[in-house]
């Protein structure tokens, strides 16, 4: 069976979807061969998107999988052989008025109509999608994101006097400003992966948080940051999934994350949950991990167990089942 993976045009420092489907392709069973087609145009403006959508029809296979962030590629594909993955609805949630209607119509409603099945990466995303777009719930299937095989146990003694706290992402939903306030006065280094805004730099300086900032990391360099970290801070306000939780679980680092869905769905019992809007909730969780070795050990052990749910092979088997269903 031949599958075409339709991928967005690569962007600097953004590679989550690329990494996800690299892992899926490597783990697919031998009867399924996946070819990659990459957009020629950036996902911006009407004409570039339509040109790519028209070009995409020429490389159709037994299954056409639009992997995310390029929903418009579904427009001219064979509907009966097309699968669309929706990663989140954050853009729709942030839009208002006519802009929101057009986004809803051309980025969600029409692509879903033009697809035989839709994959969401969490139950939360499925619920949000079904609330936004009326369609048969049986058409929407949940397949979680995989954790890459290179994220494996990397033992490290916890630095109780000055821990390295890893923060992945700097977008507004990553809640960095409240994290900065929560860490004020605590002996730690906040290791931030992602470009900081001037406002974020000012907030970090205001609360005198010791920081280390990294931008444009390779996969290997990102793994190295997990290895050096003592804990992961992921007090996010919104996620489609929340892969850093599982990556930290797999490496063996305690996780602090948000109590908002889908973080509990992803973390299971392998994290300390905080109210991401409550600075004291975040702060007390950090202090608890600094003081309580038994708590840290419990979270690390639970994390290793939790990460097994998201192995590349298990996720690839789920996709393989969907591909066979569409092809038949």
Give the predicted TM-score (pTM) of the model.
Answer: 0.89
**Long-range contacts made by residues 128-137, C-beta under 8 angstroms, separation at least 24?**
128/88, 128/89, 128/93, 129/86, 129/89, 132/89, 132/92, 132/104, 132/108, 133/104, 133/108, 133/109
Residue 16 above 90 pLDDT? Answer: no
Residue ranges per domain, the chain?
2-146+311-327, 164-309
As given in the structure block, the two tokens for residue 184 are: 């004020």
Q: 2-146+311-327 adopts what CATH topology?
A: Rossmann fold (3.40.50)
Percent of the chain past pLDDT 90, that is, above it, reads 93
Output b/e per residue, 95-128; b: 16+ Cβ within 10 A: eeeeeeeebbeebbbbbbebbbbbbbbbebbbbb
Residue 237 above 70 pLDDT? Answer: yes
Question: For 192-230, what is each residue's pLDDT tens digit?
Answer: 999 999 999 999 999 999 999 999 888 899 999 999 999
Residue 94 above 90 pLDDT? Answer: no
Q: 164-309 adopts what CATH topology?
A: Rossmann fold (3.40.50)
Residue 12 above 80 pLDDT? Answer: no
How confident is the prediction for the chain on average, in pLDDT? 95
If you average pLDDT over residues 17-26, what whole number do you get?
93
If you average pLDDT over residues 120-145, what whole number do you get?
96
Evaluated on CA atoms 137, 133, 316, 36, the torsion sign reads positive
Could you tell me whether strands 189-193 and 33-38 are parallel, antiparallel, or unpaired per DSSP bridges?
Answer: unpaired
Helix orientation angle between 243-251 and 293-307, rounded to the nearest 10 degrees: 110
């Amino acid at each position: 069976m031949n599958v075409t993976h339709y991928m967005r045009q690569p962007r600097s420092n953004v590679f989550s979807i690329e990494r996800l489907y690299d892992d899926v392709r490597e783990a697919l069973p031998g009867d399924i061969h996946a070819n990659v087609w990459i957009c020629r145009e950036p996902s911006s403006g009407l004409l570039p998107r339509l040109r790519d959508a028209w070009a995409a029809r020429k490389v159709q296979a037994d299954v056409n999988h639009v992997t995310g962030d390029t929903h418009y590629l579904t427009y001219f594909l064979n509907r009966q052989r097309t699968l669309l993955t929706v990663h989140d609805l954050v853009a729709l949630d942030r839009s208002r008025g006519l802009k929101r209607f057009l986004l809803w119509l051309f980025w969600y409603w029409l692509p879903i109509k033009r697809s035989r099945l839709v994959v969401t990466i969490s139950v939360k995303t499925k619920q949000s999608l079904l609330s936004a777009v009326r369609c048969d719930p049986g058409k929407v299937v949940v397949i979680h994101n995989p954790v890459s095989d290179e994220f494996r146990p990397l033992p490290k003694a916890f630095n109780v006097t000055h821990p390295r706290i890893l923060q992945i992402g700097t977008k507004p939903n990553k809640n960095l400003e409240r994290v900065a306030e929560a860490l004020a006065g605590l002996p730690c280094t906040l290791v931030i992966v992602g470009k900081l805004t001037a406002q974020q730099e000012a907030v970090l300086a205001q609360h005198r948080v010791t920081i280390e900032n990294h931008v444009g990391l390779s996969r290997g360099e990102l793994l190295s940051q997990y290895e050096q970290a003592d804990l992961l801070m992921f007090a996010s306000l919104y996620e489609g999934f929340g892969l850093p939780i599982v990556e930290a679980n797999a490496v063996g680092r305690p996780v602090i994350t948000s109590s908002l869905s889908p973080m509990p769905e992803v973390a299971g019992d392998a994290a300390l949950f905080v109210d991401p809007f409550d600075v004291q909730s975040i702060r007390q969780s950090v202090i608890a991990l600094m003081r309580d070795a038994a708590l840290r050990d419990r979270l690390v052990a639970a994390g290793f167990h939790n990460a097994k749910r998201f192995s590349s092979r298990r996720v690839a088997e789920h996709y393989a089942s969907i591909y066979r269903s569409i092809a038949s």
